[in-house]
Amino acid sequence: MCTQRVRIGLCRAAIGMVLLALLGACAEPADERATGPSPIGELEADLVRPSRPVDAPVVVLVPGGGWVSADRSGLAPLAHALAADGIFVVNTTYRPADSGGDLESMVADVVCAMRSAARRVAGITGESVEVVPIGHSAGAHLVALAALADEEFAVSCADDPVVVAGLVGLAGPYDVTRIPDVALPLFGVAPDADPDRWASGNPLTYVSADPALPALLIHGDADALVPADFTEQFAEELSSAGHPVETRIVAGATHGSIFDPAVTGDIITSWLLALD
């Protein structure tokens, strides 16, 4: 019994430790800092481990930012929501234009991040894993290229190739030729000055790639920055080329709310769990 005054503090501390332990047993695991090799250094990423893993691919989240910035912090709530559903998630970044990145390095960073994520999770589970990249806005454009044309860009990855089980795009500006002024930082040159380079950075160039790749494309009908017809156009091109595509146009969702787990978390989880 803690009856002596001198021992009251110790007893309270012990009780606090017990409460923290009990709460910790129920709390979601904290992010684990992870780095993966990129062509010229290390990519920062956060690994969110599920407490009860399910049979699903590893998700790699890729942020937007107009190809000028790449702040992954906004995708953290989605990462935790998917992990709470039992999915391993790596929330990664890449070198955008304001950090010296260009088309080739940005896509290569995403490809290398997918391979690094697969290696890291396989080391935890002891089993080989598949990957699904999920990108928002400019990140959706990059994951489309990374999934459809990974061999075109992954020239310096340290990790072995991984099976890409599908791709998820959130409010992606896929046909970059429609937004030449906005996409200029990605290419560093105007489309009429180097049309081949712009074609190489357009996911529509690679829609005929084999094998067929399942895709989930989500867009908000209240998106004032990237119109929903970007997604509808890409979905039509993918479907015509033989890729299984599920398209969701979410009523009332904006460019900034489309990655809110309350808006699309359940849609993404259900689609991931239904993959063969």
DSSP code string of 51-108: SS--S-PEEEEE--STTT---GGGGHHHHHHHHHTT--EEEE----GGGT--HHHHHH
Assess contact for 69 and 143: CB atoms under 8 A: no
Q: Would you place residue 152 in the very low, low, confident or very high pLDDT band (cuts 50, 70, 90)?
A: confident
| pLDDT above 50: residue 35 | no
pLDDT value for 26: 27
Give per-residue pLDDT as tens, 203-217. Answer: 999 999 888 999 999
pLDDT value for 11: 35
Average pLDDT score, the chain: 86
pLDDT value for 42: 64
pLDDT value for 266: 98
| pLDDT above 80: residue 22 | no
Least confident of 23-27, 60-64, 163-167, 248-252: 23-27
Assess contact for 34 and 45: CB atoms under 8 A: yes
pTM, to two decimals: 0.86
| pLDDT above 70: residue 75 | yes
| pLDDT above 70: residue 108 | yes
The number of helix segments (H) and strand segments (E) in the chain equals 9, 8
Which tokens in the block code for residue 225?
Answer: 């920055």
What is the C-alpha separation between 226 and 93, in angstroms, rounded?
Answer: 21
pLDDT value for 13: 32
pLDDT value for 233: 98
Check residues 223 and 2 and name the one with the higher pLDDT. Answer: 223
Q: Sheet with 167-170: list strands edge to edge.
A: 32-38, 41-48, 89-92, 58-62, 131-136, 167-170, 215-220, 245-250
Check residues 133 and 19 and name the one with the higher pLDDT. Answer: 133
